[in-house]
Structure 1
């Protein structure tokens, strides 16, 4: 992490962190939002990160403050938890939202000249994490952009990632299409392998297999063979961690859609099982990322 900023000194709950190669300067900070100028590859974008209050009166103050900070012709992104929906179709369950609150939000969006960034994933970003008929859904989190931003980044879109530990779905914004890498990836040892009961047996069996060479040549051949065996073992035991996580996240998203349409005991049970499996795979991925970060630090 190269830097970070928070609005906790003014009673807010926002933290912004950025990595190397990103230049960030704070424009405005209140207890409901932080606006920064972010420069990457010589392109500057104004971004307002929002965590709106629950009370309608406080949110009106938010809309006024955001509107007063508009900079003409500058690309602008407004993203976060707005704590309000635009219309009653953006919820499932619970009581209807006050019309005046939705009207004020929509008026702010129109007056500021913002539009919804196209998105992928489940349409509801928040859930109260209750079960059965007590469960509530709503689209409280979103990304709004100016015309200048869409002109600069025509391929930009937002993705709702699966909810895990939070009642809100994380938001991933992609401003440009990802580049595609080619070629075979280098062999890497994953620390998460040692957490599996069969790992040491796999290594021992591969190492004890007879090889005719002697000295360093024998060691080199043993290591080469061990690498090949570990790659096969990894596919059979762990599979592809990223693919497994993606598969489970997709499964959870499909089950959430079903549960939003109506309560079903079988879908409810499948959802709990899938979430438990996802937690396990994410723990394994966390170990891998920690190892990767440590290796990167050691290289510096």
Structure 2
């Protein structure tokens, strides 16, 4: 981030999207560099973990009025609690996964340690330096199955789901190996199931960055909210416990959940969709 052109691009990103919280990885900054960056971005609240020489470094910045409490940090993560409106709180963890595959399990150990203390809705984001399957990759060698299995295992252990981007897909593009262009989705947001349930319109998107081989990823808790929400009762879907005893509802849930071999988050989204339509029809009768 010491490059003035990169800082200018970051400022443009902030100006265009006005994020409440920003997590930066591989900053290659020390404390003085970070303070200069904060001044240029006009974000005086934050925490940086210094880089080691010309590699590594993570930082978290947040705008004035955002209530953030740092819980823990290391060279590869910053964990925080964010106070939202209506006395709601959310756990926000920025992760910079080990680039060395032999050290990748250290990243998963960090997540597990943080997860042991999480009692809130939880979102984990940024550079995992890992892919979930070869569909998230284009070019280069195929992924090592054991490494992808380890990534999936930690997600299952912590009950985290992958939030797929609404726009863009690959987040890392590189041609340094000389073996042709390689594209991978190694930057992403994972969330707890409760976060998806409490924020049904959550959305992410990828924003191209010209000065980095990593693109920016944005998360918006209300990104998919229709303009007339919550005036239309059909869009105010929330699971009602009494439906568990409704034969028609149980049939709809069973059919939607077991249709196709998809990821956990997609199953939840499909059930929410079909039950939302069923709820709307029921209320119109």
Give TM-score scaled by structure 2 length. 0.58
Match of 2:89 in 1: 44
How has the CA–CA distance of structure 1 residues 132 and 63 changed in structure 2, closer, same or farther, with 3 Å as cutoff? closer
Shift of 1:63: 0.7
5 Å matches for 1:280-295?
Answer: none
Match of 2:105 in 1: 60
Match of 1:153 in 2: 199
3-state secondary structure, aligned to 2:200: coil
Q: Which has the higher helix share?
A: 1
> Residues 155 and 161 of structure 2 are in contact (CA less than 8 Å); yes or no, is this contact kept in structure 1?
yes
3-state secondary structure, aligned to 1:100: helix
Match of 2:47 in 1: 5
How has the CA–CA distance of structure 1 residues 175 and 130 changed in structure 2, closer, same or farther, with 3 Å as cutoff? same
Structure 2 CA distance for aligned equivalents of residues 175 and 162 of structure 1: 21
Structure 2 CA distance for aligned equivalents of residues 55 and 18 of structure 1: 30
Match of 2:73 in 1: 29
Asked if 1:81 corresponds to 2:127, the answer is yes
Match of 1:138 in 2: 184
> Residues 202 and 224 of structure 2 are in contact (CA less than 8 Å); yes or no, is this contact kept in structure 1?
no
Residues matched between the structures, number: 181
Per-residue CA deviations over 1:262-291 (Å, capped at 9, x if unaligned) read xxxxxxxxxxxxxxxxxxxxxxxxxxxxxx
Shift of 1:133: 7.0
Match of 1:125 in 2: 171
Unaligned 5+ segments in structure 1 are 182-300
Bigger shift: residues 49-58 or 99-108: 49-58
> Residues 203 and 224 of structure 2 are in contact (CA less than 8 Å); yes or no, is this contact kept in structure 1?
no
3-state secondary structure, aligned to 2:214: coil
Shift of 1:164: 1.6
> Residues 4 and 17 of structure 1 are in contact (CA less than 8 Å); yes or no, is this contact kept in structure 2?
yes
Match of 2:237 in 1: none
> Residues 12 and 30 of structure 1 are in contact (CA less than 8 Å); yes or no, is this contact kept in structure 2?
no
5 Å matches for 1:104-253?
Answer: 104-128=150-174, 134-177=180-223
Structure 1 CA distance for aligned equivalents of residues 164 and 180 of structure 2: 30
Shift of 1:32: 1.1
Structure 1 CA distance for aligned equivalents of residues 189 and 226 of structure 2: 26
Larger Rg: 1
Give TM-score scaled by structure 1 length. 0.55
> Residues 153 and 176 of structure 1 are in contact (CA less than 8 Å); yes or no, is this contact kept in structure 2?
yes
Structure 1 CA distance for aligned equivalents of residues 177 and 167 of structure 2: 21
How has the CA–CA distance of structure 1 residues 43 and 156 changed in structure 2, closer, same or farther, with 3 Å as cutoff? same
> Residues 73 and 148 of structure 1 are in contact (CA less than 8 Å); yes or no, is this contact kept in structure 2?
no
Per-residue CA deviations over 1:81-128 (Å, capped at 9, x if unaligned) read 111111112111111121111111110111110001131122211101
Measured on the aligned residues, the alpha-carbon RMSD in Å equals 2.6
